[in-house]
Every structure is written in C-alpha cells, then in structure tokens.
Structure 1
Amino acid sequence: MILTDQELNQLCQGTPPLVEPFDPSLINPASLDIRIGTSGLNEQEEGEPMPLDLTGYDPNRPYILEPQTWLLVASLEVFHIPEFAAGEVRLKSSRAREGFDLSLALWLDPGWQGSHLTMALRNTTRFRRLGIYPGLKIAQVILHRLSNLPQRSYAQTGRYNFDRRVQGSKG
C-alpha cells in the first residue's frame, strides 16, 4: 500500500521526522518531492570522481551538466525511513522532459536513516546543457507500507546510514 499525503505529512512531523528539513509544499497526493543538496561527485575522464560543491549555484547561475555527462548528487533532505515502510525514488516528470535521467538503483529500505540520498544524475540529451542547483526539485519519494516488519532492518544491515555527504560505492 502506498502512503498518502496525510500519512506523509504525519511522518514528516514525527520524531524522528521522515525528512529534514521539512517543507509542507513538497508533499504530493502520494509522494514527497526531494531537492538537490550541496554536495556531489563529478565523473572524471581518469581516476576517481572529484568532489563537487554546489554551494553558491542558483537558478540564475546553475551548475552546468553537459550533454551525455553523469554525476552523483546528494539530496537536500536527510531521510529517516520507518521500519514499517520502504521507499522508491522516481525522477520528476518535468525533469525527464528536460532531458535528465536518474539511476534505477534508488530504493530506501526500512530503517534507512540519518542520510542524504545519493542520486546518479545524467544529462541524456545530445545537444542541450542542463542546469542544476541546490533546492531544485529533482525527484519524488513514494513510500510503501510493508505487510510485516522485517526481521532485520537496514538499521542493522546497511552501510550508508548517517552519510551526510554524497557517497560513492562502498562495494
């Protein structure tokens, strides 16, 4: 069962909150919009991705994602997924229409907490440069209520809890 706006609002105002910072205008009928934060990792031609600080970029002066390029960006929001729910992350349709794409590896297990979401963002266009900046609505989280509590939640098994910056693969 997918959680509705009323349930999402209640979770966002709980302890711990579903997301922080919480902005009620981000709640949709059955999802919660999420925004780009300030940290990223930029793919390099050789070697490891380079840290990217998006602080200072805004709608009038965005960071430019060139055609066919890829980077990791952190969400502005820090998440606390309750143990009775799991979440999926979907690109906002407006961003898809502009030429953005998100990795399909965006699943939030029960108990995933205290972390910014790391998203793999790609400019799929052939010719158009796309701009990003902190606060840009990029995706939405859809929460599903589980039929039962898991035997072991991500709080016990996860490797990405309490990450406060964008994270590359931990293996």
Structure 2
Amino acid sequence: MILSDKTIIKMLKEKTLFIEPLEEGQIQPASVDIRLGNTFSVVEDTSDGIITMQNEIKYKTIVTDKYILLPGQFVLATTLEYFAMPDDLTAFVEGRSSLGRMGLFIQNAGWVDPGFEGEITLELFNANRCAIELQSGRRVGQLVFAKMDENALNPYRGKYQGQKGATGSKVFMDNDVS
C-alpha cells in the first residue's frame, strides 16, 4: 500500500519516519519531494580503463552548490534529505518528468530498504546534447513510500547504512561472485 500525505505527516509527527531537513511543501499527495544535495562523485580513470567488481572503485568527490553535467556524463549525487526508515516501510525514488524531458535521467538502484538510514545516493546521467546545470536544493524527484504487511525479518543494516554524501559503489565488498 502506497502511503498518503496524511499517513506520511502522521508518521513524521510520531517520529516513526525521519526526514531532515523537510519543508511542509515537499509533502505531496502520495510522495515526498527530494532535493539535490551539494555532493557529487565521479569515477576516477583507471590506468587500463577498466572498472572491475573485485577491486575498490576510486571516486573524485566535489562539494559545490552548482555542478555542470556534460552531455553523456554520469555522476553520483546525493539527496539533501537524510532518511531513517522504520522496519515495515520501503520506498523507491522516482525522477521528475520535467527533468527527464530535459534529458536528465535520475535513477536509484533498487528500493530504499526497510531499516535504511542515510542520505540517498542518486545516479544522474545527461542524455542531452547540451550540458545541464545541477543546483543544490532543487527538487529532483520524489520518494514514494510503501507499507509492508509486517516488519522485515532482516531490516537493512548493510554497507551503505548511515551514508552521507554521494557514496560510490561498494560492490567489491560483496562475497558472491555469481
């Protein structure tokens, strides 16, 4: 079940859901607007030009209120908001149609798991032929919350728990090779 604005407001007041900073106008009928933070990370070049999943990936992190995303460029960014999810609530990130129409693709790999706490890292790609100026504090998407039928048996306590800033891939920490 997707949460309504009334339920989101109730959970925020009861402190069963935490979102900071949050302005009242960000709460929409069935979602919460998310804003772009001021941290951006790009993958550093490797000597052989290959990224592997077995080795730690190096990133260059930039803290700025404005970032120029070049055509065909990929960058990690972060939400301005910090979230703490209860163990019976999941969420997913949806990009804004207005930005998609500019050629800005906003993605978040997978769901925001129950029990997750931190800023959400966004994957941004410029599919346009023109550069796009990204500005901290601008609405870039929305978080849609879905109530689970009961608490997760194993809520998220993984490698991205408590993340702040545009956090790079930690796939090298995975044990599986399949």
TM-score by length of 2: 0.84
Give the aligned partner of residue 135 of structure 2. 133
Give the aligned partner of residue 43 of structure 2. 43
* Structure 2: gaps (5+ residues): 48-57, 172-178
Q: How many residue pairs get matched?
A: 161
Within 1, Cα distance between the matches of 2:120 and 2:108? 13
Question: Among residues 72, 75, 89, which one is paired with 2:79 in the alignment?
Answer: 75
Paired residue type of 2:107:
S
Partner of 2:9, secondary structure, is: helix
Asked if structure 1 preserves the Cα contact closer than 8 Å seen for 2:105 and 2:127, the reply is yes
Within 1, Cα distance between the matches of 2:19 and 2:108? 21
Question: Among residues 48, 63, 81, which one is paired with 1:53 in the alignment?
Answer: 63
The structure-2 alpha-carbon separation of the partners of 1:16 and 1:85, relative to structure 1 and needing over 3 Å to count, comes to closer
Paired residue type of 1:52:
I
Within 2, Cα distance between the matches of 1:14 and 1:23? 17
User: What does the per-residue CA deviation read over 1:50-97, in whole Å, with 9 as the maximum and x for residues that have no partner?
Assistant: 11112xx3xxxx321111101000110000111111001010111111
Asked if structure 2 preserves the Cα contact closer than 8 Å seen for 1:12 and 1:22, the reply is no
TM-score by length of 1: 0.87
Within 2, Cα distance between the matches of 1:36 and 1:24? 17
Give the aligned partner of residue 168 of structure 1. 168
Q: Does 1:91 align with 2:95?
A: yes
Give the aligned partner of residue 25 of structure 2. 25
Partner of 2:61, secondary structure, is: strand
* Structure 1: gaps (5+ residues): none
Question: Among residues 99, 102, 107, which one is paired with 2:111 in the alignment?
Answer: 107
Could you say what the CA RMSD is over the residues aligned between the two structures, in angstroms?
A: 1.6
Asked if structure 2 preserves the Cα contact closer than 8 Å seen for 1:9 and 1:24, the reply is no
Paired residue type of 1:128:
C
Asked if structure 2 preserves the Cα contact closer than 8 Å seen for 1:106 and 1:119, the reply is no
Indicate the structure (1 or 2) with the bigger Cα radius of gyration: 2
Asked if structure 2 preserves the Cα contact closer than 8 Å seen for 1:81 and 1:112, the reply is yes
Percent sequence identity over matched residues? 27
Paired residue type of 2:109:
A
